[in-house]
Copies of this chain bind each other. A is one copy, B any other.
Amino acid sequence: MAAARGRAGSATIEDVARAAGVSRAAVSKVIRDAYGVSPAMRERVTAAIEQLGYRPRVSARGMRGKTFTLGIEIPELSNPFFPLLLAGATAALSGSPYQLVIAPADPAHHEGYRAIQALVDRQVDGVIAVSPLVEPAWLTELSATVPVVMLGRHDRADGYDTVVSDDEAGALLVMRHLLGLGHRDIAHLTGESAEPDPGSGIPQAIRLRAYCTAMREAGLGDRIRIASTPDVTANAHRAAMRLLAGAERPTAIVACHDEPALGVLRAVADAGLTADEVSVAGYDGIDIAAHPGISLTTVRQDGERMGRLAVELLLERIDGRTEPRHEVVRPELVVRSSTRPPHHR
């Protein structure tokens, strides 16, 4: 908290130079600690900087070179998984000269593009995109201008790096668990976006496909039951209610994320049922799932690791790497009391 003597933020490199009786270039060199400054000069300049409360303007710096700013675009911060990513990213950056800035993007309005563009307009040195909805082609184009790491999509492109969780493996983990418990009527609750394009790189789509595969391989192809709704998180409760009220009530419901799974749990309770009648599983491994009042079986994704990896890849790119890298992290099944053997009526 160095005290600023002059009006904070007003001093320029010129002022510092004058105060120290040196040239602007000298000050610049001291700031960036570039080659060719005598200890004596460094001392004088440092003192002047301190005394004037001088801070280099990043915008001005950005005009010639880098801004030492990394941008990350994030949809719906309300999803507790994303803070994990950020924690990892921030941790990976601590000690480095880079600052992370987050641009929130409302996924409902195709805001991903807008937010990423806003970041690029602000001359960030690299972009991490978390939006599952921006098109790979667009990102490829973008990556010609600025290094890009896409988080959580399975499509690969040469222009940018990716960090994903192995969603297929994760989804199979839950399915094997439920099938192992003896469930046969397993329904899957997912977002609308997963449906139309099963080949897309969206995690939900991958998980949906894995669900279908697992069902078919267990000889339960005819019992596949998919409930899909726009904005699953908001509508999970209603969708689950419909599922539970129907003639052939499933004995287990697998949700594409933990948050919708919470809605499903609520629906189960509201329908006067318990985990003995209907098992529920989620996906993500958010903290609250471990709470005894919830106790949700889920697949934990190591969000912190993913965030850290994303930053590392980005820094490598900024450092000059050109061959694309694609990191896959392994999810892990966490069994809790929301999933039990099916009750035989």
The chain A residues found within 8 Å of chain B, CB to CB, are 1, 4, 7-10, 55-60, 62-63, 67, 69, 71, 76-78, 80, 82-84, 86-87, 90, 99-104, 106, 113, 117-118, 120-123, 138, 141-142, 144-146, 262, 265-266, 269-270, 288, 291-295
Given contacts A58-B121, A101-B103, A113-B1, contact A77 B86 (CB under 8 A): yes
- Is B100 within 8 A of A142, CB to CB? no
- Is B55 within 8 A of A121, CB to CB? yes
Which B residues lie within 8 Å of A269 (CB)? 292-293
Copies in the complex: 2
- Is B55 within 8 A of A59, CB to CB? no
6 contacts between A and B (CB under 8 A): A4-B141, A57-B121, A57-B123, A71-B101, A77-B77, A78-B84
- Is B123 within 8 A of A59, CB to CB? yes
Which of A60, A69, A77, A141 is most buried by chain B, counting CB atoms within 10 A of its CB?
Answer: A77
**Docked CA distance A179–B121 (Å):** 56
- Is A288 within 8 A of B266, CB to CB? no
- Is B262 within 8 A of A67, CB to CB? no
Which B residues lie within 8 Å of A113 (CB)? 1
Which B residues lie within 8 Å of A57 (CB)? 62-63, 121, 123
**Docked CA distance A8–B113 (Å):** 14
**Docked CA distance A269–B337 (Å):** 15
**Docked CA distance A4–B145 (Å):** 12
Give, as a whole number of angstroms, the nearest-CB distance from A124 to chain B: 10
Give, as a whole number of angstroms, the nearest-CB distance from A25 to chain B: 19
- Is A55 within 8 A of B120, CB to CB? yes
Give, as a whole number of angstroms, the nearest-CB distance from A77 to chain B: 4
Name A288's closest neighbour in chain B (CB-CB): B288
Give, as a whole number of angstroms, the nearest-CB distance from A266 to chain B: 6
Which B residues lie within 8 Å of A294 (CB)? 291, 293-294
**Docked CA distance A113–B1 (Å):** 8
- Is A122 within 8 A of B78, CB to CB? no
- Is A67 within 8 A of B77, CB to CB? no
Given contacts A59-B62, A59-B123, A288-B262, contact A141 B8 (CB under 8 A): yes
Q: A1-B138, A78-B80 are in contact. List 10 more A-B contacts (CB 8 A).
A: A7-B144, A8-B142, A9-B145, A58-B122, A71-B101, A76-B83, A77-B87, A101-B102, A265-B292, A266-B291
